[in-house]
Amino acid sequence: MAQVTLHRSLTLLVVSLFVACSGSQATRSTPATAVDQAPIQVSTEGVRRARVFTGDGGIEVTVVQMNDDSALIRIRGLATTIEDKVLSCKLVQSGSERRSYSTMIDGRQWYVFQTQQRWGRQSYQLYAPGGPRGGISLSFDDKKSQSLDVPEVLVAHEKQKRSGELDAIARFDRPATEKRHEAELARDLEAMARACQTKPQVQVDWGSIDDQTLLKYSVSGYCDAPLDALRHVCEHASGKRFAAQIRLFRCRFGNKSQIHLDGGALVFDVAVKTVNLDQKVREMLQGMQLEGKTLADWVAIDKTDVCYKDDKHVAILAPTAAKHPGLAYGDGERFFYIGQPRYLSRGWFFDPRQVNQRHNSNMRGYDLRYYSYLEVERQRNKCKLVCGTRTTEMTLAGRDKVQAVLARASYQPAPHQRRPYALARSRRGVYFYVDRGITENTKQDFRVYRGPRGRLRSQPMKDIVSDSEGEIFATKNGKLRLVLRGGNQAAWWIARGKRQRLVWVPVEKNLNLIYNELGIYLGKQLGVPCDDF
């Protein structure tokens, strides 16, 4: 990186000029004295290096670093109280990769300029009163740095120091600070208004905020939380309906963070000690009532899709926040709840009767060859149901029909409530299969089936023994012994005193065999769309 280095041959430069007595360019000036009119002499001997950084919108930041680790920083192109002021800043070291420069503005410490080393790259950030809370990204400007008139910067700093401008900026000015926070809130309100298509008045109860709180905390940052929450919720139609009833937004500081509607006023009481304020405000807002439901319920409805082939073949795709997230399928009134597999995309569901060898065999722990999916295509107002290798087109319902379907929908568990547990066979082709219930209450409900492929029959159970070595399933016709030891799997069938070693058949690699060929589940409804398509 290029930089401006001041050579020893230029260590002393004397610039003589007279400072105008009026100080008319200062935003907050003090009367000039006889001392102010003395010639200004500056030396570049204490300067280590000087650089210029630029940002979007014509922002220019000059940083003159001194040998004592202080710096003079001038900001141009940003309409704030420190525009064109040459501020004296201190270096604050925050770890080996970050350097921050701070100064006093309006009675509190302000970290104006920051450099940081990240992943082998140097970044520069400007934080200024009236600027974005997230800061402004800057880039080093080699050309402007080379042509920088360092003595002019030093003279400007001394001139502003003598006139009292810099002291005035450093002092706490409550009216100016209140106006700055109100201006920041006004910008936040504009963002909310664009999203919500309504623009309430904003009122800060300054009487609830003492000087120490105003100096220590960002009032606009705290008061912005409901506006930001509204902006997000207004991405949905119900959020816009909720926001339309708000004519006034009032923010006041107190001992507890809470939010409520008082007529047409949304009143926000904020406690500065609240942890995760933004998240809690969103939760409080989503819990507020709108037309007999919580706002969260309405947002879930807005994010729900309904796909149908006809009025008797209807699928519901609900978001994570819904009471029944994921997929449900039914006749338009009664729906089998299928749910949403964790880590998989919306609309995927398990149906081992349908096989698609082109799907990923190990996607986040799932063998997608045995999964089908329902996909929403908004641009076409259609839905695509993919069952194995078959594709069926369905219609995407409009919002009125979505609300009508959800209003009368009742949910019940899928009719198939069992899952494979173990599979083995004799060398003569006789299969032994065990399944179990899928719920916490039924997971110990084991059933044993025995017979040739396509003709397995349920074996009446007598007893089940389960320990660290495995299980023994005792039936009226014999005992099935499953051994699970050190990762090794083995099985025996014991009948009439004879012990027959069986071939262990991995369940996860034989789902198509289990559901389509053994005969146990043939013709059974799984409660998924592929039952019918």
Where along the chain do its domains lie? 8-170, 179-297, 303-413, 418-531
At 493, which amino acid appears?
W
Helix H or strand E segment including 104: strand 98-105
- Residue 463 · residue 474 · CB < 8 Å: yes
Is the pTM value of this prediction over 0.75? no
Q: Please list, in sequence order, all residues whose beta carbon lies within 8 angstroms of the beta carbon of residue 74, skipping any fewer than 6 positions away.
A: 61, 62, 84, 85, 86, 87, 153, 156
Residues of the chain with pLDDT under 50: 1-35
- What pLDDT is stored for residue 487 in this prediction? 67
- What pLDDT is stored for residue 36 in this prediction? 54
- What pLDDT is stored for residue 143 in this prediction? 96
Helix H or strand E segment including 252: strand 248-253
- Secondary structure class of 205 (helix, strand, coil): coil
- What pLDDT is stored for residue 134 in this prediction? 83
- What pLDDT is stored for residue 390 in this prediction? 97
- What pLDDT is stored for residue 244 in this prediction? 97
- Neighbouring CB atoms inside 10 A of 190's CB total 12
